[in-house]
Structure 1
Amino acid sequence: MAAPIHPCQRCGACCAAFRVAFHWSESAPHSPSGPDEALTVQVRPFEVAMRGTEAGTALRCVALQGDVGRAVTCAIYDRRPSPCRALQAAWENGEPSPQCDRARARHGLPPLTPADFTTGAG
């Protein structure tokens, strides 16, 4: 039997709803474990953002692959920056996530529930 698909792999709303900004030192070559510098754009003197998330209302991270709300993946998941690592799916650890709920709402998706992590339905 196949492992259930994590709700985030059927969502991706956060990657297409918010600016993903972080200190430039998190990106390669400054940090080998960070996203490639070419995937970022400077937004302030000491801050960069993932391309596609830097401004406007039509946000979509350059590293997001697939269709929001259907099937997605992050092309740099192992090298994603700290804001991506910090954002948790609602109820993933038994706690709500207003940021996750807002991102999903922006894409017409219902909020996740605790059942999404027991049934794999999210």
Structure 2
Amino acid sequence: MNWLLVALSAASFCECVLRLPFVENIKTLVLYSSKSYRVISSARISDHWKEEVLLLFAAKIFCTSLMLFMFFLLSLAPLLMWHYLAVLLGVDLFAFITGIHGMVAMTFAAVVYLFIRRKLFHV
């Protein structure tokens, strides 16, 4: 029963990660980080304007980082769902997946799921 729940959890987690806009947010985070670095390293921009612009960039970096954290929490939601189902069935899923066998099984299930998904949907 543990192995089936691990496979379903891994597949659910992978789908969430693939469908949520992680990549776009990471690109935005890198964009604002590189822009702030260019502003800091520029000798042509006055310190007053650097303070103004860096405050805006910091706010955007903070919001983007917060969104990434929220997406990560959302992608863990199916794992919680499968855990609660496991509790109803009398299985301690978290105890299993936090052990070495569970981590290996979760990784293996995720890799197999992504391989099969890619072959079936040509993504």
The verdict on a shared fold, with TM-score over 0.5 as the criterion, is no
| Higher Rg of the two aligned structures | 2
> Which has a greater percent of helix?
2
TM normalised by structure 2 equals 0.22
Give the structure, 1 or 2, with the largest relative contact order (CA under 8 Å, sep 6 or more). Answer: 2
Higher strand share: 1
Q: TM-score w.r.t. structure 1 length? A: 0.22
